[in-house]
A and B are shown apart, each in its own frame.
Chain A
Amino acid sequence: DTEVTQTPKHLVMGMTNKKSLKCEQHMGHRAMYWYKQKAKKPPELMFVYSYEKLSINESVPSRFSPECPNSSLLNLHLHALQPEDSALYLCASSQGAQGDRTDTQYFGPGTRLTVL
């Protein structure tokens, strides 16, 4: 089973709202990722968590705040977003074992975010 789930599927928020995106996997993976994807563009990496610790932050604005409460769950907290933050937000996970050469990322279905 290579299932990564994301909720909600769609989210519309105002620039003053606070909302959260949720990602979950039950494959025992220890690495989890957030990507942002604009229409007809490849995904852009935002954050990587490895063993529940933030290992990569690709210079993402502080209005995006990731959180990894446990090895199965990844959240992305959103606050004071801009209209240009409207995009598809994808979560992915991989085994992430140290030195695992075969590490392969599996993606969730995404959350379509619209910022008004």
Chain B
Amino acid sequence: AQTVTQSQPEMSVQEAETVTLSCTYDTSESDYYLFWYKQPPSRQMILVIRQEAYKQQNATENRFSVNFQKAAKSFSLKISDSQLGDAAMYFCAYRSAFRGSNYKLTFGKGTLLTVNP
């Protein structure tokens, strides 16, 4: 079974600064997807970024980028130029690309990010 570990229960960052959220995972599979979801106090889970394991290039979405280290099974999220609206719980998630997995998501426990003005 796959596991996802987010070792930082809480993080804080000053507005306009950069912060990195850590995520490690354990799997015996070679083909999978990794996701970062953001859940602000409004509760809605919002997809931030997605990474395909067979792609070497790190995914980026505007101020959000990942550092994907497949051999180390590490998938960290970097938020540049942090904004107050970035304050949220961030969940790292794993999904097997194996068809028989029913594409279930395995979530980490989350990291609560506070952005200080």
Q: Is B63 an interface residue (CB 8 A)?
A: no
26 contacts between A and B (CB under 8 A): A2-B47, A31-B103, A40-B110, A40-B112, A41-B110, A42-B107, A42-B109, A43-B45, A50-B102, A55-B102, A56-B102, A56-B104, A90-B45, A92-B45, A101-B33, A101-B97, A102-B33, A102-B52, A104-B33, A104-B47, A105-B105, A107-B37, A107-B46, A109-B42, A109-B44, A110-B43
- Residues from 8 to 40 in B contacting A, C-beta threshold 8 Å: 31, 33, 35, 37
From the candidates B46, B97, B107, name the one contacting A43 in the complex (CB within 8 A): B107
Inter-subunit contact A104/B110 (CB<8 Å) = no
User: CA separation between A31 and B91, bound complex, in Å?
Assistant: 21
A104 and B89 in contact (CB under 8 A), knowing A40-B110, A90-B45?
no
A sample of 13 more A-B contacts (CB under 8 A), given A50-B102, A109-B42, A112-B43, is A2-B47, A31-B103, A41-B109, A42-B108, A45-B105, A56-B104, A94-B103, A98-B99, A101-B97, A103-B95, A104-B35, A107-B37, A107-B44
Chain A positions near chain B (C-beta within 8 angstroms): 2, 31, 40-43, 45, 48, 50, 55-56, 88, 90, 92, 94, 96, 98-99, 101-110, 112
From the candidates A41, A42, A48, A112, name the one contacting B102 in the complex (CB within 8 A): A48
B41, chain A: closest CB distance, angstroms: 11
A36, chain B: closest CB distance, angstroms: 12
From the candidates B37, B43, B44, B104, name the one contacting A45 in the complex (CB within 8 A): B104
